Structure formats: C-alpha cells, structure tokens
Homo-oligomer: A and B are copies of this chain.
C-alpha cells in the first residue's frame, strides 16, 4: 500500500515538475474560462533563459523585404516588434507571422481569456506576450517588467490592436486582477501596435503595477490577468465565432 502511495506521489511530482518547467506556452480551460500560461520572453542582456527569444541582428533587419517602402495602405505601414528584446521591423500585415514564427507565440481565440504570466520575479526588462484573435481582428496583450527608475521595477500591461489607431477605437478591453478580496481593473480602448509599447508606457495609458502590488496579486510567482475584449458601441463589428 505504501509502495503504491509513493508511486502515486512520484507521478504527481513529475506532473508538477512538467507543469512548471515546460517551455512552450500552454492553453487550458478551467471553469469554462480559457487560461493561457505565458512564459517570459527575456532581453538578451539577462542571458541563459530557457525562454530566450531569438533576436534578429541589424543585417537580418535590412533583409526584411517589406521594410521602409513608402506606401499608404495601413496594412503596409511599417511597425516594430512589440517585444523589448527584438529589433525586428516590418509591415503590419506580417507582424502576426513574425510573432508566431520567430517567437513561437500562440494565437488564441475567443473574447475572454486568462493570461497567466509566470516567473514574475525575473529581473527587468522582460516581456510576456500573447496574440489574441477575436471580433475579426488580432490583438496583442503585452505585459512588460521595466525599471523606469533604477531599482524600482514596475509592470505595465496593455492591449494593442494589430491595426491602425482608427480601427482600435472600435474596441474596448478590460484587464482584471483578482486575489484575496482585492480587485484591480483597467478598462480602455486598445492602442494600435503602430504606437510603440514605450510610448504607451510613457503616456501611462496602461495598467501599471508597482512590484508590491504585483506581489499582492501573484500566486507562487505567477500573475493571472483576466482579459475581456468587446466591440465598442460606436461600431458594430461582426464577431469571428
């Protein structure tokens, strides 16, 4: 009997180990809600990360066939990768394929998900990111840990539309943290991915958490952010599903 109990314990330990060390992003459903486990994508400076993002160098950058062409189509407008550690530049229409292929970022579907960012203790700068497909568009949820003042890390969470600022006005999003009888909610219109994340942070147009607040809402070093995206009343958008 003791042998079976020990075997069962060992299997549980293995499952627990696998859960915490799997490098890929994972999506599962709990109580009807889609939960996406998001590992951090770190800056090269921090080195030796299991989740290291391949960062293209400047010679690769100049080979981007879509860069710097003077065109008017919004889809052909040049933008940068929202990841802090990546210097990629390209057109709006190829940013999703860049994120999914180069950074192996999953595309999730549905208007409500839970974004579970792991390893919140990692030193800044570091990004957590997912691509989200709903209401006929692609959205990016970017969570960045950054030290605007040295020794004072903060977390900045924002939703960005892969589209223009005018298109972004047709949507609203809500980010919600909930733990131990505390709830913090941020509701806004998404920003266009054509605005860089730095400018969104400088504007304060995002959910901002001091390290102490992030700790209050974290559980075992992971932070769960509930996300809801809706079409604004100003414009009726055909839902995808």
Contacts and interface: CB of A to CB of B under 8 A. Distances in A.
Interface of A: 148-149, 151-152, 154, 172, 181-189, 202-205, 207-216, 232
A202 B208 contact: no
Given A181-B172, A183-B187, A185-B185, A210 B212 contact: no
Nearest to A214: B204
Contacts of A214: 204
Given A172-B181, A183-B188, 6 more contacts: A149-B152, A181-B188, A184-B187, A184-B207, A202-B212, A204-B210
A110 B208 CA distance: 31
Nearest to A211: B204
Contact of A216 (B187, B205, B215): B205
Contacts of A216: 203-205
Nearest to A148: B152
**How many chain copies does the complex carry?**
2
Nearest to A188: B182
A117 to B, nearest CB: 17
Nearest to A152: B149
Contacts of A172: 181
A216 B213 CA distance: 21
- State the 4 A-B residue pairs at the shortest beta-carbon distance, nearest first: A204-B212, A204-B213, A185-B185, A183-B187
Nearest to A215: B204
A233 to B, nearest CB: 11
26 contacts: A148-B152, A149-B149, A149-B151, A149-B152, A154-B210, A172-B181, A181-B188, A181-B189, A181-B232, A182-B205, A183-B185, A183-B186, A184-B186, A184-B187, A184-B207, A185-B186, A202-B212, A204-B210, A204-B212, A204-B213, A204-B214, A204-B215, A204-B216, A205-B216, A208-B209, A208-B210
A107 B96 CA distance: 55
Nearest to A149: B149
A147 B183 CA distance: 25
Nearest to A217: B204
Contacts of A209: 208
A157 to B, nearest CB: 12
